[in-house]
Amino acid sequence: MSKDSLNKNIDISVDFAGLRLKNPVLTASGTCGYADELSDFFDVSGLGGFITKSITLQPRAGNPTPRVVETDSGMLNAIGLANIGLERFIAEKLPIIRELSTAVFVNVAGKSIEEYVAVIGKLAQDDGIAGFELNISCPNVKEGGITFGTDPAQVTKITKAAKDVAAGKPLVVKLTPAVTDITVTAQAAVDGGADALSLINTFTAMAINIETQKPILANRTGGLSGPAIKPIAVYLVNKVYNEVAGPAGVPIMGLGGIRNASDAIEFLLAGATTVAVGTASFAQPQTAMRVVEGIRQYCQRRKIAKVEDLIGHLQ
């Protein structure tokens, strides 16, 4: 059998929150803009899915600079949810997004449940949007964000409120690792009707300039991402898969430090149905497409007919 014909026989599509995705690889919110930026480097339609930068009801300017700093095998960011706001998103970015033949999830953030509901309600009828990701785990804003994501009762409440206005579109709830037991917030999201869970968001962290004796980031703290957090992310995905998501039949999108197919396959084996590439896209914009190809090659080498057979296959 030739290499090409074997490739065609490997099914790398996955069922995720009621959608059939062409492959399990997405790009993570806040690391891939609104798709037009990445389109300079590859055809975004080759992705399993695409998650927009967070959208809030009103535009947000974001935090003062420095907003990022590289750390050992990682980076801190404190962008502060800088975004163009719902109105300009609809006018300027939705027309571009509608042209993509990949599943586009709009990541939604807000200061109050009413804001989340307003944004999702306004976008829910749009055919160009496959679903929503609820950002209740941003560590870099004073109100909303992570304050919702650490309180199980709030997680259930906001998930339910968002689900009610999502017009049947799948709702992914993005979890923070900054809790004592992530299975509690995962269960809270499932109880609220989440169609999928994405984990993990960044860890709140700090880097200090020892000459000025001040934090490097203007926001003082930022979210740690990149390869430094990957082993923790794999562990937490496995824990949530075993204790909450697996039994409830709710799929997981795994993310945290993925920069190649090997990293992605670890997440699939740990229990993730899909993976998202984040920080790695900054240095290598085409990383996500390389991950897709690497997963295909792994399946071929291991004689795995369906990528779905890998999910939670940890021995």
Partner 1 sequence: MEKNQSVTKGIFTAEVVANTVVRDCFRRISLVLDADGSSAFAEAMPGQFAELDMCGAALPVGSAIPKELADCASRQIILRRPFSFADITVKGGSQIELTILYHVLGPATVRMTTLQAGDRLSVIGPLGNGFSLPRSKKTALLVAGGMGSPPLEHLSRFLRDTQPNLDVQFFAGARTLENFPFRANTNAGVSVSEFSHLQGKIHLATDDGSAGFTGFVTDHVAKWLKDNAPVTDDTIIYACGPEPMLAGIAKLAGDKKIDCEVSMERMMACGIGLCQSCAVKATSAGDSVYKLCCKDGPVFDSEDVVFE
List the catalytic residues: 138
Nearer to partner 1, 178 or 280 (CB): 280
Sheet holding 74-77, edge to edge: 68-71, 74-77, 222-225, 203-205
Rule CB under 8 A: say whether 77 interacts with partner 1: yes
Residues 219-248 that bind partner 1 (CB under 8 A): 226-227
Task: Give me the residues paired with residue 222 across strands.
Answer: 205
Residues 166-195 that bind partner 1 (CB under 8 A): none
Instruction: Answer whether the bond into residue 66 is a cis peptide, omega within 30°.
Output: yes
Binding mask 265-304 for partner 1 (x = CB under 8 A): --------------xxxxxxxx------------------
Q: C-beta of 96: minimal distance to partner 1 in Å?
A: 14
Nearer to partner 1, 189 or 229 (CB): 229
CA distance 252 to 15: 11
Q: C-beta of 220: minimal distance to partner 1 in Å?
A: 15
Q: Residue 123: which region, alpha, beta or left (left: phi > 0; alpha: psi -120 to 50)?
A: alpha
Binding mask 80-119 for partner 1 (x = CB under 8 A): --x-------------------------------------
CA distance 232 to 219: 25
Instruction: Answer whether the bond into residue 200 is a cis peptide, omega within 30°.
Output: yes
Q: Which of 256, 211, 249, 258 is nearest to 233 (CA)?
A: 256
State the amino acid at position 145 in one-letter form.
G
Rule CB under 8 A: say whether 73 interacts with partner 1: yes
Q: Which residues bind partner 1 (CB under 8 A)?
A: 30-33, 37-38, 40-41, 53, 61-62, 64-75, 77, 79, 82, 226-227, 279-286
